[in-house]
Amino acid sequence: MPSRRSILRVLVISIITMVTPWVKAGADTSSATAELTQKLAQSLGDDGINIIFIRHALAPGYGDPSAFDVTDCSTQRNLNDVGIRQAQALGREIKTAIAAAKRPLTAVLSSQWCRCLDTAAEMALGPVEAFAGLNSFFQGYADQEATLAMLTAKTASLSADDLVIMVTHQVVIRAATGISPPSGGLVLHNTSTGVSTPLNLIAID
């Protein structure tokens, strides 16, 4: 007969399993990472990519509070624990693809919003540079025309040999590519052809 201690241990594990949200690799993570590796290994002329747009990881809520201050994370919507783990998992998968494709990163750029900077930092892919051309204009905290002009100039300056990760917001990615990714979703972009491809590496349960 099981001891009271072993029964209690099973009950505690069961409760934790039911109430704790987990970030895990989706069923197609290996194939998604393989797809990213393939895109990275190709030249732009062969449907490769030189930009990886990433929507910030999970940050529950909608928009930002009315007291929003870009320099104060406490006034913003931020990553929760699931979002942090999601960003870390994204970083691991992207590192795997980059290493397999032997394609070095040129830069990691991020919106100045804390949830984007934190996503970029948790991915741990290299030094992160805040770039106003990736800021959210959803609620007018950034000017849409000026933001997109900066982003357009940046993308136009990239060469076929560059590989830049851009951590930003859904509205920015949609404006730049026509695609609306989920939290932590990727959009692979070729600046030569203008072709964009959505890709989800990590599932949230």
pLDDT at 76 over 50: yes
pLDDT at 10 over 90: no
Which residues neighbour 111 within 8 Å (Cβ) at sequence distance 6 or greater? Answer: 56, 117, 130, 131, 134, 135, 136, 167, 168, 169, 172
Q: Are 110 and 134 in contact (CB under 8 A)?
A: yes
Residue 176 lies in a domain: yes
Residue 15 lies in a domain: no
Q: Is the dihedral of CA 104, 186, 59, 86 positive or negative?
A: negative
Residue 3 lies in a domain: no
Band of the pLDDT at 9, cuts 50, 70, 90? very low
134-175: pLDDT as tens digits: 999 999 999 999 999 999 999 999 999 999 999 999 999 999
Q: Write the CATH number for 27.
A: 3.40.50.1240
Strand partners, 24: 203
Band of the pLDDT at 29, cuts 50, 70, 90? low
Tokens standing for residue 168: 């930003």
Domain containing 107 equals 23-204
Q: Are 68 and 141 in contact (CB under 8 A)?
A: yes
